[in-house]
Amino acid sequence: MARPTPELIESLRRTARKLQHGSPYQWGHMGGCNCGNLAQELTKLTRDDIHRYAMQRYGDWNEQVEDYCPTSQLPIDLIINEMLNAGLTIEDLKHLEKLDDRDVLNRIPLSQRFLKHNVRNDVVLYMNVWADMLEEQLLKRIKLPVLDVVEMA
């Protein structure tokens, strides 16, 4: 599961918000799909740049991350590397593209849980629930110091 960081959580929420408000979404487009939209947010590349870089190698996001090589210097591997550096894992990217991470899905009410990987509103829901889950994990790790109460005379 992703390493919860404020930056990753905010990127997930910004991506979901942009999709909810009409940002281009096209599941068959490497820069406009689930991973592609998050990649835009994390890398600041355009959807067309991401798509063009991905087309230098074969396959969809699942195949791209399966063939990821951190030393290849292929543009798509540089994009994936940047996403991994943001706290994501290869498995997270596979799950995001299919909207099928069990931990995320289990937090969604059963009546809404059967998400379609290529439906904008389902992607928005998944990203928001995932961001909430990561935020809870992050907050559990924060330990505030116990302050000594000094009596005032």
Structural domain including 56 reads 6-141
Distance from the Cα of residue 91 to its chain's centroid? 11
> How far is 59 from 33, CA to CA, in rounded Å?
13
Give me the number of domains the chain comprises: 1
Does residue 150 form part of some domain? no
Does residue 107 form part of some domain? yes
pLDDT along the chain (153 residues), means of 10: 92 98 93 96 96 92 93 94 96 96 96 94 98 94 72 56
3-state SS class at 66: helix
Task: Count the neighbouring beta carbons within 10 Å of the beta carbon of residue 80.
Answer: 26
Question: Per-residue pLDDT tens for 36-45?
Answer: 999 999 999 9
> How far is 30 from 52, CA to CA, in rounded Å?
8
Give residue for tokens 């991470």: 101
Does residue 1 form part of some domain? no
Quick one: pLDDT at residue 150? 62
Does residue 147 form part of some domain? no
Does residue 26 form part of some domain? yes
pTM to 2 decimal places:
0.89
Half-sphere exposure of 47 (CA within 13 A, CB side): 18
Hey, what's the torsion of the CAs at 58, 50, 15, 62, to 10 degrees?
Answer: 10
